[in-house]
Homo-oligomer: A and B are copies of this chain.
Amino acid sequence: MFFASDNSSGVPAQVLAALSAANEGFALGYGADRQMDEVREKIRALFEAPEAAVYLVATGTTANSLAIASYVQPWQAIYCHRHAHIEEDECNAPIFYAGGATLRLLDGEHAKISAETLTQALADAPEGVHHAQPGILSITNITERGARYSVAEVTELCRIAHARGIPVHMDGARFTNALVAEGCTPAEITWKAGVDVLSFGGTKNGLMGVEAVIFFDPAKAEEFEFRRKRGGHLFSKHRYLSAQMQAYLTDDLWLTLAKNANARAEALEAALTDAGVTLVHPRGGNILFAEFPLKAHEALRAAGAVYYDWPAPPPAGAGPDHPHQCRLVCSWSTTEDDVTRLTEILKTAL
């Protein structure tokens, strides 16, 4: 009953097999491996983007920071949601990589930015050298509260950003969860909607530590390559990153893994709803935020369930009926049995 985070899960057998296969012989380093050539072509094909520049890095913070830094000047601002990962969980990394750019934090339900909010924020940005100018919009799909931007919503936000002359980054740490839930093509929810650069996550969905950065317009490719090396993020034995991503994209493994995570979350959602539990945010993929009495949390923890209090631990002195919120994440490796057990214990304790 591990629902703490999808990055606490392991990797499927195909990934281990790919590492073994890639281990044969000597290989040129730093991205010149033949596996990377294949990864690049696969991603271009899957995204219907034959010109895209494609790179691999090992962490999501890196993918986001380098992608954003490639577009933003140090005297500009990165527009994002107040609860974006780049604001809340990356310890100033995007600022570091962008040479001192600032973040503009936007409000919005379910960690989503609405078209109205973005329009207003950009309208409110004063011109002139005294003020950090709009530099980029970064949106997260699915969001840190588990909600999903639809293709139409992404399209509208990109339209607004582009009208102001700023590009759009999508933090897709859980991109595949959004994709399979939305039921669209990768292109439809990215470049066809206006996204300029995507952090295409692999780690949370079954890799050891691989994320792709996809520039749909390759104009920033050369700059990215220098930024990646300068950040210490270019791997000498790059083949081990490539091999993981290669396995991920073979035989629809990436989609299968995300579908499993989403299906478990859907089942959990149904069970919780059935039990009368309040869900705080609409489920966009594999994450749920739920509220139930503290006594139920205690029963679950006693039974070995692992998940986070979210956004905060219960207040001191809260009674057994205090409605307390938590985050429940399903991963590719969450089983039906995990869901069933958690649900049953919960129902008993309610």
**Residues in A lying within 8 Å of B, measured CB to CB:** 2, 4-5, 7-11, 16, 19-20, 22-30, 57-62, 65-66, 73-76, 88-93, 95-97, 99-103, 105, 129-133, 203-204, 208-209, 223, 225-237, 240, 306, 333
* Cβ contact of A59, chosen from B76, B88, B235, cutoff 8 A: B235
Contact sample, A vs B, 26 pairs, CB 8 Å cutoff: A2-B25, A4-B26, A7-B29, A8-B28, A16-B20, A30-B130, A61-B229, A61-B232, A61-B234, A74-B96, A74-B99, A75-B91, A89-B130, A90-B130, A90-B229, A90-B232, A91-B131, A91-B226, A92-B100, A93-B229, A95-B95, A95-B101, A95-B102, A99-B99, A209-B235, A232-B233
Q: Knowing that A58-B209, A129-B225 touch, tell me 6 more A-B residue pairs with CB under 8 angstroms.
A: A9-B26, A75-B229, A91-B229, A92-B101, A95-B100, A130-B229
Once the chains bind, are B130 and A91 in contact (CB under 8 Å)? yes
* A336 to B199 alpha-carbon distance, docked (Å): 45
CB-CB under 8 A from A90, the residues of chain B are 130, 229-230, 232
* A97 to B316 alpha-carbon distance, docked (Å): 40
Min Cβ gap A208→B in Å is 4
Min Cβ gap A100→B in Å is 4
Using A5-B29, A74-B92 as known contacts, say yes or no to A129 and B229 having CB atoms under 8 A apart. Answer: yes
